[in-house]
Structure 1
């Protein structure tokens, strides 16, 4: 009888723990609305933060609107955005701000800081996934601004260098890039470093 009671208590603790895990991202830090799946109904992109965790992780959620004005979650991950205090940094705050998300022309745009500038990652909803179709990276130094665009659909990388404070193009370079398949949002962390 004692074993049964212990097992029941153990199962009850697991249930309470799993419920806590599902509700830990309680602080909303960003919300965007727009049509991502081309059905004429507003969808939502929400970024939430878990302030109870010492690393302060962030979760990205994408919800598709329905005709009855309710939403259904089509994507949810706490592995897309770097935590505010990454564990590998041993208590040091992350170098960059929380990325911004926008919905533009039925695409999901993530804008984030990178060393010396910023980058945009553009995803299109297709085949039940958000596929990375374009990356735009802009950096600057003392003399120039360099904008590099990776068009993953066309398989072309374009780099344009302009003199700082001017629209004068100093150098422009185009080259073919091999893309076997478009990276998916859920695999984003694997591919992010390729475009830095």
Structure 2
């Protein structure tokens, strides 16, 4: 066997997993989200930056505020999803670096004193963490419906008014409902992606 994961795990995380567009009304508990976080927090980021922040949108009032900021095609499925997470980058992630990267004690001031540098590095590493989060949702036996069709400025104003965070993605989470998936779209072949030099 070439991979350490068995076929069932490979199917759960990748081969049979799809972006979900419809969910059952079965709730997603805080315990499930905590278990997901406790798994995916070990995924690597540069200097252990860990800039991803997760805002769980549970209340009807917050859900309504979020749905207003989504593109038309994303509104109904988000309003009906059992849980939605707003995934953002913490632009002040560098404040935690002395604790998270003790092997590089001068990192905070040496590299991340400029906001533009922090935003670029934080957004890149938070995007990596979003991938881990989606795989973690699948590992919990749930389906994820990640979206980028939204008014980012509107979401930032509604949920991150202090300017410390910026939205990168919105993800619906739950058990897949009937007709949750579209047909599998093609993927690039190994030869189209991998080059050896």
For normalisation by structure 1, the TM-score amounts to 0.25
More helix by share: 2
For normalisation by structure 2, the TM-score amounts to 0.25
More strand by share: 1
Structure showing greater relative contact order (alpha-carbon pairs closer than 8 Å, 6 or more residues apart): 2
User: Which is higher, the Rg of structure 1 or of structure 2?
Assistant: 1
